[in-house]
């Protein structure tokens, strides 16, 4: 019935020559050459031990967890039955063990039944465990109430940087930063027992490095305990890339918020997608009022102005445009630059009303300068020429010449004309200064 060997492992202080258990094994069908006895300290992994079951003899199962874990690590595919002298009602089967017996219960019938059940259970469990252990996704099992790890696969060991013997001695608390423990306790108790997406968390490697994982859980029974099966996918690079993009977006937004230009963007449906605070100040509308709304629905009074024409030109022809236009809504002149983007338009504008007024003032002054220049060039030049001509006709040698009187009258008339022109120039100059 039993075709393979049995390994009996005893704690170092036990009598290795006590063969009471060996006798019971012989009674259920094992041969003497199939029974091997080792002390726990001498138990080492062998390539092909040929064991079908391991019996670990201990006085107190509560103190045997470390030794059981060591044996299980050496022989993970072989069922381990604990044969103990005492056990408490609250005793939990140590991780790695498959069953237990009191020494007083090792009669042939019960011993034989326990061994056969453990071998069959281990075979079935081993098939499932192979799927679990060889799964490329990092997975582990922990007891829901104590958070103690019960099992872990190779992908998870590689991800967290532990050896299996190290990891199994930890709890689910040990792979998390302290800042997330409160949230972990809460979700551990609140998640439904079926398959659940537990979201994105920070976990901790053996070297202390924190990284992001996406966690999926399912409540299972494992080793007769209520446990959680967890798959924790490393998404650290994608989360940090997303964070970098968000940080860059925040930097750009800070720049756009700090510039002195009004700035906004619209999509191809002319809906507002971004508005900075200078836009709000100049146009006296908040972003809460406008975001998501259509530009032309929000400002229908500018449809007949150059804003409509120029924005459509930039959008339709995929070119940048610059123009100035008076906005009747705010009674201000705006200087506008609109640039096409992949999603619509980016538009910068400044209030150049003061500059426009100054420019109009300069243009008005220039017109007055031209008027003064015209007065100087035409209204003064004629009388001056007449005056010079009359002076030439004056009879200096004969002052009493009757012709001189006529010349003096004409000189006086010309002087009056010059005085009028000079007064006009003075008036225009004072008007210009004011």
Q: What is the full DSSP assignment across 369-432?
A: HHHHHHIIIIIIHHHHHHHHHHHHHS-SS-TT-HHHHHHHHHHHHHHHHHHHHHHHHHHHHHHH
Q: Do residues 113 and 21 share a domain?
A: yes
In a domain, 246, yes or no: no
Q: Do residues 344 and 399 share a domain?
A: no
In a domain, 250, yes or no: no
Last residue within a domain, chosen from 132, 148, 181: 132
Q: Do residues 361 and 347 share a domain?
A: no
What pLDDT sits at residue 305? 93
In a domain, 69, yes or no: yes
Query: CA-CA distance, 331 to 329, in Å (whole number)?
Result: 6
CATH code of 160's domain: 3.30.450.20
CATH code of 68's domain: 3.40.50.2300
Query: CA-CA distance, 91 to 78, in Å (whole number)?
Result: 23
Q: Do residues 10 and 103 share a domain?
A: yes
Cβ contacts of 124 within 8 Å, gap of 6 or more: none
What pLDDT sits at residue 91? 72
Q: Do residues 13 and 128 share a domain?
A: yes
Count the domains in the chain: 4
Query: CA-CA distance, 156 to 140, in Å (whole number)?
Result: 7
Cβ contacts of 325 within 8 Å, gap of 6 or more: 305, 306, 307, 310, 333, 334, 336
Q: Do residues 126 and 67 share a domain?
A: yes
Token pair 């009388």: residue: 383
What pLDDT sits at residue 308? 95
Rg over alpha carbons for the chain, rounded to the nearest Å, is 50
Q: Do residues 322 and 372 share a domain?
A: no
Q: Do residues 82 and 57 share a domain?
A: yes
In a domain, 21, yes or no: yes
Domain with 203, as residue range(s), is 139-237
Q: Quote the pTM value.
A: 0.46
In a domain, 33, yes or no: yes
Q: Do residues 204 and 119 share a domain?
A: no
Query: CA-CA distance, 130 to 134, in Å (whole number)?
Result: 6
In a domain, 89, yes or no: yes
In a domain, 119, yes or no: yes
In a domain, 244, yes or no: no
Last residue within a domain, chosen from 80, 108, 132: 132
Q: Do residues 300 and 224 share a domain?
A: no
Q: For residue 56, give both structure tokens.
A: 């670990």
Last residue within a domain, chosen from 351, 378, 410: 351
Q: Do residues 371 and 306 share a domain?
A: no
Residues 245-271, buried b or exposed e (16+ Cβ, 10 A)?
eeeeeeeeeeebeeeebbbbbbeeebb
Q: For residue 100, give both structure tokens.
A: 């237990």
Q: Do residues 112 and 21 share a domain?
A: yes
| Among 118, 122, 133, 68, CA closest to 96 | 68
Mean pLDDT by 10 residues, the chain (434 residues): 83 77 90 90 78 90 83 86 82 81 84 88 75 89 94 95 94 95 93 91 96 95 86 92 85 82 94 94 92 94 93 95 90 92 94 72 63 60 66 70 73 74 68 61
């Amino acid at each position: 019935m039993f075709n393979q060997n049995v390994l009996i492992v005893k704690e170092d202080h036990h009598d290795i020559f006590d063969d009471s258990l060996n006798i019971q094994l012989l009674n259920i069908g094992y041969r003497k050459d199939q029974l091997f006895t080792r002390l726990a300290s001498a138990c080492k992994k062998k390539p092909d031990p040929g064991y079908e079951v391991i019996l670990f003899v201990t006085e107190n199962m509560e103190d045997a967890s470390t030794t059981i874990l060591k044996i299980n690590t050496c022989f993970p595919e072989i069922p381990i039955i604990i044969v103990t002298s005492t056990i408490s009602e609250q005793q939990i089967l140590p991780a790695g063990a498959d069953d237990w017996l009191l020494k007083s219960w090792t009669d042939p019938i019960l011993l034989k039944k326990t061994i056969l059940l453990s071998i069959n259970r281990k075979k079935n469990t081993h098939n499932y465990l192979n799927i679990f252990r060889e799964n490329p996704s990092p997975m582990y099992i922990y007891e829901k109430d104590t958070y103690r790890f019960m099992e872990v696969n190779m992908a998870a060991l590689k991800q967290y940087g532990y050896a299996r013997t190290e990891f199994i001695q930890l709890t689910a608390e040990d792979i998390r930063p302290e800042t997330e423990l409160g949230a972990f306790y809460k979700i551990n108790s609140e998640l439904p027992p079926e398959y659940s997406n537990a979201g994105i968390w920070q976990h901790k490697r053996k070297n202390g490095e924190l990284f992001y994982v996406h966690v999926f859980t399912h409540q299972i029974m494992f080793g007769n305990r209520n446990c959680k099966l967890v798959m924790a996918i490393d998404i650290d690079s994608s989360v940090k890339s997303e964070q970098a993009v968000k940080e860059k977006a925040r930097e750009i937004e800070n720049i756009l918020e700090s510039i002195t230009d009004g700035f906004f963007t619209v999509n191809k449906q002319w809906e507002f997608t971004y508005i900075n605070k200078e836009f709000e100040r100049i146009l006296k509308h908040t972003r809460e009022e406008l975001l998501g709304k259509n530009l032309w629905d929000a400002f229908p009074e500018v449809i007949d102005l150059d804003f409509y024409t120029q924005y459509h030109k930039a959008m339709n022809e995929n070119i940048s445009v610059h123009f100035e236009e008076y906005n009747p809504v705010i009674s201000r002149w705006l200087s506008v630059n609109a640039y096409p983007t992949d999603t619509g338009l980016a538009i910068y504008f400044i209030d150049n009303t003061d500059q426009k007024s100054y420019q109009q003032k300069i243009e008005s002054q220039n017109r007055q300068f031209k008027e003064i220049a015209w007065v100087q060039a035409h209204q003064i030049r004629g009388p001056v020429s007449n005056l010079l001509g009359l002076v030439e006709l004056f009879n200096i040698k004969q002052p009493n010449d009757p012709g001189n009187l006529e010349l003096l009258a004409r000189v006086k008339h010309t002087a009056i004309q010059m005085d009028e022109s000079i007064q006009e120039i003075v008036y225009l100059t004072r008007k210009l200064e004011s």
